Chain A
Amino acid sequence: MDSKFNSKAESIVDSENRPFFEDSKSLKTKNSPFKKYYSIMVGLLYCGASVSAVFLNKIILSRNGSFKDFSSVEILMTFQSLIAVVVLLFFRHFNIISFTISVGISKIIQIGFLSVLFVIMTGSNAYSVKFLSMPMVGLFKNSQVVIVCILEAIFLKNIPSFFVVGSLMVIVLGSVFGSLTDLEFDLVGYISVAFSVLSSAFYLVYIKIILRNSSISEMTLVLFNNILSVCFVIG
């Protein structure tokens, strides 16, 4: 009886001390009726965060706006990464999220490659927007779904079904419609956009490879990716 009571008391204490978020596995094992909708919810949150980030960056970096004297993408990127590091460490300190910060040199090298891809992706994206019109960049970026699907089939052995390939073709066709009136050719722009598309496709597939094959949690990846990105931008 006593042991039953003690184990119950321990589990209550344990659940009180447990952080709000550990990793995606802790989310999946939580007993919630919305469990099967987690990936959709995370996808919607990503859309919200990404659209807000685009609009905020546009306001800060706009050459005609209130902050026109500040137009350095690199400094803004560095600030964003530093804020991310501080916030993550703050949350970890107060046990809101839990993740390990002591990782081996081999894992640092793995995350370093991810950060290199991230920096190439961001830099080449900025160059492609500079040399090509937005609809052209949009067309190539939307065609990225096909490249990601091919890389996923090669590296992760996820062979797409006929229906998946068909739906990706419809998506590409949709972006062709949007860019019909803006077709143009600029060699530097095309090279930049090719780098941007390939690096971001490799970036997505590589994250999946790391998360699948090694024991690094998502938050550890976010933390070290931000730290190393600052180093690579400055370097």
Chain B
Amino acid sequence: MFILSSVINGSIYDAYQYIISGSSFSFWSLVLLSGFTGIGVTVTTYLFLSMSTPTSFAVIGVLKKISQTFLGYIFWKSVSGWQNIASVIVGLCGGIMYGFSQKAKQTNEAK
């Protein structure tokens, strides 16, 4: 289905043309690196889920996005306005609260 839609809009033909004629060493290095990071993402996802709960993983996903926004602010000054800063701070507080709730749960289970 996805391949069919890419055939119709021509992106797959362009990509094929690029691969057989214009692709460079740096392109293939990046594809390889992206493949390695892809394995890293799936393996760590499955490992984390086997050790913890899906909700904790979803919270980690939100905290990852917050750190991504924060890094964007530091490196590219991409965040502007009080809403974005409030969003990062409130989101981070929510993540910390969730962490404490899990800690409290573990302590109760240990008792």
Which residue, of B18, B62, B88, has the highest number of chain A Cβ atoms within 10 A? B62
- Count how many chain B residues have C-beta atoms less than 8 Å from C-beta atoms of the other chain: 77
Are A80 and B50 in contact, CB atoms less than 8 angstroms apart?
no
Instruction: Give A residues with C-beta under 8 Å from B.
Output: 23-24, 27-28, 38-39, 42-43, 45-54, 56-57, 59-60, 66-67, 69-76, 79-84, 87-88, 119, 123, 138, 141-142, 144-145, 148-149, 151-152, 156, 158, 160-161, 163-164, 166-181, 201, 204-205, 207-208, 211, 218-219, 221-222, 225-226, 233-235
A156 contacts which chain B residues (CB < 8 A)?
53-54
- Cα(A171)–Cα(B34), bound, Å: 29
User: Looking at chain B's contact residues, is the secondary structure mostly helix, strand, loop, or mixed?
Assistant: helix
Instruction: Tell me which of A67, A82, A221 contacts B27 (CB under 8 A).
Output: A67
A218 contacts which chain B residues (CB < 8 A)?
43, 46-47, 50
Instruction: Give B residues with C-beta under 8 Å from A.
Output: 1-3, 6, 11-12, 14-19, 22-23, 26-27, 30-69, 71, 81, 83-84, 86-95, 97-98, 100-102, 104-105
A-B contact count (CB 8 A): 255
B45 to chain A, nearest CB (A): 6
